[in-house]
Amino acid sequence: MAGTTNAFEMAQRQFDHVADLLKLDPQVREILRWPLREFHFRIPVRMDDGTIKVFQGFRVQHNDARGPNKGGIRFHPSETIDTVRALATWMTWKCAVVDIPLGGGKGGVVVDPATMSTGEKERLVRGWVQQMWKNIGPRKDVPAPDVGTTPQMMGWMMDEFSKLQGDYTPGVITGKPVGGGGSLGRTEATGFGVIYTVREAMKHLGMDSSKCTAALQGFGNVSQYAAIGFVEMLKGKVVCVSCWDREDKVSYTFTKMDGVDPRFLMSITDQYGTIDKAKAKAAGYVIEDGEAWISKEVDVLIPAALEGQVNADTVKKISSKVRIIAEGANGPTTPEADEVIKERGIFMVPDFLCNAGGVTVSYFEGVQNDMNFYWSKEEVLSKLDEKMTVAFQGVLDMALKEKVYMRDAAYMVSIARVVKAMQLRGWI
């Protein structure tokens, strides 16, 4: 992969660029370039065979000027502190851009959860809470799921925290299972939120969504509901999705030029987002290499897997037909690729705006936990649509007013809100 691959370096470069445009005070800049707090810890877990395995865990709290830190916990074999720092930093900008009263945090464990039994996973997540419980809580830092973690794990974590605290505390964590303190609509929230922003981008560009096509990277939580939303809400056609194949250890693209059926594909996908190749082939899907998704002649590209996927090499493969890139993933585009996209005039819906639907419904989940009163799915999704639409319009207005790239405009909106909160609290 060419160019910048370190996610935290990417996050700092994006921020520095806009800080320069804003002529941001150097001291304010120094606060915002780095996380305020980091926790590095080891989690010993009794494995099913009786041995003890020790896992590396992290939690990074980037900035809590606007409210408690908020952000998921990622379980991935290649997790690093720099990835967690980047993801925590983007969470600060994400919560600010959708104007929810929360700061930015993120956690992680270096582990491949697919290699563990259910019991081992439960002991690992309870161990994570045992290390962190004094530094998380509804008014301190509220974790949630991300890549490799599930609602069930959030349920166990909430239980562990409540036991240690001696009080039932559902608001300590979000993305919990429905019936166990979770909110209806959280599963769909990130993917549907992506589609609400694509809908608004299409309105701005004068595109008829029912005549549009899309190619998606990834087929996990975000991509599955983005694909469903593109087909069912926008009446468009998704020509391919891709995934990482855990057996073959490579990625594949699953293509059907007359339109994939996302609900069928979901029925043959495991909990880690790997699609069953044999079943897909039998249903008429063409299986191509993992990078094929990016060169499709479509109107919309939705990278919804991991960071750094649209980079100096892969950006060259983007077809001249593409008009919108909607970043479902966090940090999928490197600064080098951004330059090319800007030059080509492709409309960018940047990650921390595009995928903010998840944390928005997590915020709604916390509100419902506080009230001990739960909303219908329709109510949750209609509140989400409103938040995402207002946020999109705010960023678009800034981009048009300042004549800047949408990513820079999103940073401008968020930085102003975080700086204002720091001023109001007397930090600066």
Ligand X SMILES: O=C(O)CCC(=O)C(=O)O
Active site residues: 106
How far from chain centre, in Å, is Cα 214?
19
> Of residues 359-398, which lie at the interface with ligand X (CB under 6 A)?
359, 362
Provide the H-helix boundaries in 23-146: 26-33, 81-97, 118-132
Residue nearer to ligand X on the CB measure, 330 or 333: 330
Contact of residue 169 among ligand X, ligand NAI, none (CB under 5-8 Å per partner type): none
- Positive or negative, the Cα torsion across 262, 241, 226, 152? positive
**Does 146 sit near ligand X (CB under 6 A)?**
yes
Q: How many residues bind ligand X (CB under 6 A)?
A: 13
> Of residues 332-361, which lie at the interface with ligand NAI (CB under 6 A)?
355, 358
Burial category of 252 from C-beta neighbours within 10 Å (exposed 0-12, middle 13-18, buried 19 and up) = buried
**Does 98 sit near ligand X (CB under 6 A)?**
no
**Does 147 sit near ligand NAI (CB under 6 A)?**
yes
Q: Which residue is nearest to ligand NAI (CB)?
A: 220
Classify 145 as helix, strand or coil.
strand
Cα–Cα distance, 223 to 279 (Å, whole number): 19
Residue nearer to ligand X on the CB measure, 292 or 380: 380
Of 296, 332, 298, 357, nearest in space to 407 by CA: 332
Ligand-binding annotation for 342, yes or no, is: no
Cα–Cα distance, 366 to 369 (Å, whole number): 5
Taking the complex as a whole, how short is the minimal distance between the CB of residue 208 and ligand NAI, in angstroms? 28
Provide the H-helix boundaries in 108-248: 118-132, 151-165, 186-205, 221-232
Q: Judged by CB under 6 A, which of 35, 57, 68, 72 binds ligand X?
A: 72
243 in the Ramachandran plot: left (φ > 0), alpha (ψ -120 to 50) or beta? beta
Stretch binding ligand NAI (CB under 6 A), from 33-41, 78-86, 130-138, 146-154: 146-154
Binding site residue list for substrate: 70, 94, 362
Which residues would be at the binding site for ligand X (CB under 6 A)?
A: 70-72, 94, 144, 146, 174-175, 330, 355, 358-359, 362
Which residues would be at the binding site for ligand NAI (CB under 6 A)?
A: 146-148, 190, 217-223, 242-244, 251, 273-274, 290, 304-306, 328-330, 355, 358
